[in-house]
Structure 1
Amino acid sequence: MGPVSYVIAILGCADGGAACQQVAIAPARYESAASCEAATGNVLAESTDFDFPTIVARCRSAKNPAAERKAPPRSTLVKQG
């Protein structure tokens, strides 16, 4: 099966997180889910240029970054004003 690496998908949400669409994939790859999860806050903090009231960062397998995870997002940024 080989090693698995992870990427951080950035999702833009119009309704607080229920209906989101992928707007970007962060360029870095992570060797473990834990290292990916640890980086979501920093990546999210740098992802403020999207026109959505809520931005979400989720770790996904690099083999299939478009696949949706069932778990809730680890990091969420809600824009103010």
Structure 2
Amino acid sequence: MGPVSYVIAILGCADGGAACQQVAVAPARYESAASCEAATGNVLADSTDFDFPTLVAKCRTAKSPAAVQRSAPPRSAAVKQG
């Protein structure tokens, strides 16, 4: 098993954080979960092109499945409402 890298997935969610779906993946890769988590706030602040009441930024391993359907925002994710 080789080194693990992380990416930030941007999820768009319906009101109340329900029915989230992946709308983008930030292009940067991170070498640790900690460095990825530290970057979620900035990536989320720059994610203004999506028409959802709530956006969530969540770190995933680069090999994680791409699609997320009907999941609530995880506690460790950055959340932007507006």
- The TM-score with structure 1 as length reference comes to 0.87
Quote how far apart the aligned CAs of 1:15 are.
2.1
**1:63 shift after superposition:** 1.1
Measure, in 2, the Cα distance between the counterparts of 1:46 and 1:71. 20
Pairwise mapping of residues 1-81 of structure 1 onto structure 2 (< 5 A)? Answer: 1-66=1-66, 71-79=74-82
Cα shift at 1:42: 0.1
C-alpha spacing 1:43/1:78, structure 2 compared with 1 (3 Å) = same
- CA RMSD, aligned part only? 2.0
Change (3 A) 1:43 1:65: farther
Q: Which runs of 5+ in 2 are unaligned?
A: none
Cα offset for 1:64?
1.8
Is residue 9–residue 65 contact of structure 1 (8 Å, CA) maintained in 2?
A: no
Moved more, 3-12 or 70-79: 70-79
Q: Which runs of 4+ in 1 moved over 6 A?
A: none
Q: Which amino acid aligns with 1:10?
A: I
